[in-house]
């Protein structure tokens, strides 16, 4: 694995505040922030910005963190925020029809240990890989997925975009047919990996080479397309960081003895 340069989310948060002219006191570095206490559960969340990295490197980093958390239950939950070089992925399914035959794809394809059909990742997408110990969250994967969807819906609302769920499908939508965020999660020993892809800006054309998420009537959209103006992945990452830190305790359950 190539060396992955990790930058604290604090850096991009401050950059975003500077661009937006926001005042006030800066927050402490996310890697150094103290845990918050609620209902007997200590919530410690480490959030890192990795920049644009190769898919294989991000996958190896996730696997390393999952292995550490499996051995050390006290290890902090983590969120890796990043962009990928262009790549297609598909989950653990025998049905590969959403690839439309892989030979024509213009970018590499990875089959990985998440749920779901084919999707595309590339520059202009905010990728978020929460590595969360669901043993501290009631071992409830569905609750985790709804938590992740709600953070993305609330993030979009910060930019005056009305995101919503769609019955029977995972992800975040604009209206009934325009999909703006995809979610695909893998779980090992009740520790999550993979996560979400939020289309912020950039080229959506690579989605045309597949059936995105295996849904025939889907039209992929982005924050930039919905707003009609340019927007940066870094600005959006800073908003996600703030929401995730505020909402992490909503996910945890009280495991203290009665």
Mean pLDDT computed over 91-103: 72
Q: What is the pLDDT of residues 106-129, one digit of tens each?
A: 788 878 777 678 889 999 999 999
pTM of the model: 0.81
Which residue is associated with the tokens 């590339």? 122
Active site residue 213: yes
The yes-or-no verdict on residue 83 having pLDDT over 90 is yes
Distance set, CA 73 to CA 21, 80, 132, 254 (Å): 40, 19, 11, 15
Confidence at 210, pLDDT banded by 50, 70, 90: confident
Q: How far apart are CA 34 and CA 26, in angstroms?
A: 15
Of the options 3.40.50.720, 3.30.930.10, 3.30.505.10, 2.40.160.40, the CATH number for the domain spanning 7-16+43-92+103-251: 3.30.930.10
Confidence at 11, pLDDT banded by 50, 70, 90: very low
Q: What is the pLDDT of residues 151-169, one digit of tens each?
A: 999 999 999 999 999 998 8
Report pLDDT for 89.
Answer: 85
Instruction: Report residue 48: phi and psi, to 5°.
Output: -130, 145
Domain extents in the chain: 7-16+43-92+103-251
Q: How far apart are CA 12 and CA 51, in angstroms?
A: 10
Candidate list 3, 137, 201, 213, residue with the active-site label: 213
Report pLDDT for 34.
Answer: 33
| 119: helix, strand or coil | strand
Q: What is the pLDDT of residues 122-151, one digit of tens each?
A: 999 999 999 999 998 999 999 999 999 999
């Amino acid at each position: 694995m190539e060396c992955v340069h990790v930058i604290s989310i604090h850096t991009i948060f401050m950059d975003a505040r500077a661009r937006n002219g926001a005042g006030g006191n800066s927050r402490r570095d996310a890697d150094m922030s103290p845990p918050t206490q609620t209902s007997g559960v200590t919530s410690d969340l480490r959030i890192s910005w990795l920049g644009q990295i190769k898919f294989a490197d991000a996958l190896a980093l996730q696997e390393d963190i999952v292995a550490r958390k499996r051995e050390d239950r006290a290890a902090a939950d983590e969120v890796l925020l990043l962009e990928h070089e262009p790549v297609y992925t598909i989950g653990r399914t025998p049905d590969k029809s959403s690839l439309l035959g892989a030979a024509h794809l213009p970018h590499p394809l990875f089959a990985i240990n998440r749920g779901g059909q084919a999707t595309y990742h590339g520059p202009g997408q905010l990728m978020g890989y929460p590595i969360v110990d669901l043993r501290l969250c009631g071992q409830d994967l569905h609750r985790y997925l709804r938590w992740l969807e709600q953070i993305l819906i609330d993030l979009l609302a910060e930019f005056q975009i009305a995101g919503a769920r769609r019955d029977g499908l995972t992800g975040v939508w604009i209206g009934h047919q325009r999909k703006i965020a995809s979610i695909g999660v893998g779980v090992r020993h009740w520790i999550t990996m993979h996560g979400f892809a939020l289309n912020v800006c950039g080229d959506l054309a690579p989605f045309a080479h597949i059936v995105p998420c295996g849904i025939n009537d889907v039209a992929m959209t982005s924050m930039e397309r919905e707003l009609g103006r340019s927007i940066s992945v870094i600005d959006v990452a800073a908003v996600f960081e703030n929401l995730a830190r505020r909402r992490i305790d909503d996910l945890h359950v009280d495991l203290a003895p009665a």
